[in-house]
Structure formats: structure tokens, C-alpha cells
């Protein structure tokens, strides 16, 4: 059995993201992925059983990476205002710094056939636990977690994805949105 090589695996992941964003899920065949990654199709199968397993594994890894990035900036001593600020800024910064990965994760999560086969993510569970703790401590209002997640993250995705407006305008919108979210959610 052949050994796995981290560089080859990284090349395969990068090829998957590039092709999915360019050609969609149907257009990214194993042979195209292998060619883009500079490996043989047989090499792809060393890492992944099939295309569906590959897409799900890459999706899970990168969606967890988003949460890991955000949660790495939080600590127990922060107040509600600081937590919301970190969640929002962290998400915005992640999108800006990892645009292709973010769009892949976003596109995958909006494809029910693929996303529904992925188990609940650890990062999302941790976020829900954080929100529940904040509600119990009466730091944020007692809204349903899905509503809280939508209020915190969806507007930021919209701001970060607006490539037609300048960076300065995005920052102004981000600051305003942080204030709005804090006003809406904090007790």
C-alpha cells in the first residue's frame, strides 16, 4: 500500500476547491481534480474512497476550521459585547483571509444532498453551547439558537462577500453591523 503525502493531499484539496468554484460539483470529476492537483486519479483514491466521501471530508475539515479560527480568539473573561465583537470580526476576517475555502464551504452547505449526509459539526455544537451559556447568564436575549446564528453571521457574510464595494466601506459596514447586532442581542 502506498503512503500518504501531506503535500499531495493539500494539492488535492486545493484542486477540489478550485474546480468546485469554477465548474460546480458535477463538473469536478476525479480525473479533473487529479490533473489540477498534478497527481494521478489512483493517487486521489489513496486519500479518498470516492468523490462524495472526498467532498464531505474536505467540507467537514474546512467548516470546522472556520469555528476553530473564531473560537481561538475567545476566552472566559470576555463580556457579551466582546464575545459578539469577536464572533463577528473573526468570521469577517476568516472570510477575507480564506475566500476560496469559505465559498466552497458555503456552496457545499447550501447543497442539501451533500450537506445533509455530514454529521453535526463539533464547531457548530460548541457555538450552540456558548449561546446557551450566554442565555443562561442573561447576557444575550433568549432567542432560538438558529435565530441567533442568523443574526450574528448572515449579515457578516453579506458584507464580506460584497466585492464591488471597497475595503473601507466594508469596514464601515462591519462596525455598524457589530453595533446593531450587539444592540439587538445583548440584555
pLDDT tens-place string over residues 120-175: 678 889 999 999 999 999 999 999 999 999 999 999 999 998 777 888 999 999 99
Query: What pLDDT score does 116 carry?
Result: 59
143: nearest Cα among 175, 86, 187? 187
Domain that holds residue 28: 1-48
Q: Judge if 35 and 93 occupy the same domain.
A: no
Q: What is the pTM of this model?
A: 0.87
Q: Does 140 reside within a domain?
A: yes
Q: Judge if 119 and 74 occupy the same domain.
A: yes
Rounded Cα–Cα distance for residues 60 and 58 (Å): 6
40 close to 75: Cβ distance less than 8 angstroms: no
The 10 Å Cβ neighbour count of residue 22 is 11
Q: Judge if 80 and 134 occupy the same domain.
A: yes
Q: Judge if 19 and 103 occupy the same domain.
A: no
Q: Does 32 reside within a domain?
A: yes
Q: Does 124 reside within a domain?
A: yes
Query: What pLDDT score does 2 carry?
Result: 55
Q: Judge if 139 and 84 occupy the same domain.
A: yes
Supply the mean pLDDT for the chain.
90
Query: What pLDDT score does 50 carry?
Result: 92
Q: Judge if 41 and 64 occupy the same domain.
A: no
Rounded Cα–Cα distance for residues 142 and 186 (Å): 10
Residue 26: band (very low, low, confident or very high) from pLDDT cuts 50, 70, 90: confident
CATH of the domain at 23: 1.10.10.60
Query: What pLDDT score does 109 carry?
Result: 82
Q: Judge if 3 and 81 occupy the same domain.
A: no
Query: What pLDDT score does 163 carry?
Result: 72
Query: What pLDDT score does 6 carry?
Result: 83
Q: Judge if 100 and 36 occupy the same domain.
A: no
Q: Judge if 112 and 20 occupy the same domain.
A: no
Over residues 37-69, the pLDDT tens digits come to 999 999 999 999 999 889 989 998 998 999 999
Query: What pLDDT score does 40 carry?
Result: 93
Q: Does 23 reside within a domain?
A: yes
Q: Judge if 166 and 123 occupy the same domain.
A: yes
Residue 110: band (very low, low, confident or very high) from pLDDT cuts 50, 70, 90: confident
Q: How many domains does the chain have?
A: 2
Rounded Cα–Cα distance for residues 139 and 185 (Å): 8
Amino acid at each position: 500500500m502506498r503512503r500518504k503525502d501531506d503535500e499531495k493531499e493539500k494539492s488535492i484539496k486545493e484542486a477540489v476547491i478550485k474546480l468546485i468554484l469554477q465548474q460546480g460539483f458535477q463538473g469536478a470529476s476525479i480525473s479533473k481534480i487529479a490533473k489540477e492537483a498534478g497527481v494521478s486519479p489512483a493517487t486521489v483514491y489513496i486519500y479518498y474512497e470516492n468523490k462524495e466521501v472526498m467532498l464531505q471530508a474536505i467540507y467537514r475539515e474546512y467548516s470546522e476550521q472556520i469555528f476553530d479560527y473564531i473560537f481561538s480568539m475567545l476566552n472566559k473573561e470576555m463580556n457579551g459585547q466582546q464575545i459578539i465583537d469577536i464572533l463577528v470580526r473573526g468570521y469577517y476576517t476568516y472570510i477575507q483571509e480564506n475566500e476560496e475555502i469559505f465559498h466552497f464551504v458555503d456552496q457545499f452547505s447550501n447543497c442539501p444532498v451533500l450537506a445533509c449526509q455530514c454529521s453535526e459539526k463539533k464547531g457548530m455544537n460548541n457555538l450552540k453551547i456558548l449561546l446557551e451559556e450566554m442565555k443562561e447568564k442573561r447576557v444575550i436575549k433568549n432567542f432560538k439558537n438558529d435565530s441567533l446564528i442568523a443574526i450574528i453571521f448572515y449579515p457578516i457574510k453579506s458584507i464580506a462577500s460584497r466585492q464591488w464595494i471597497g475595503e473601507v466601506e466594508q469596514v464601515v459596514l462591519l462596525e455598524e453591523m457589530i453595533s446593531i447586532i450587539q444592540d439587538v442581542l445583548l440584555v
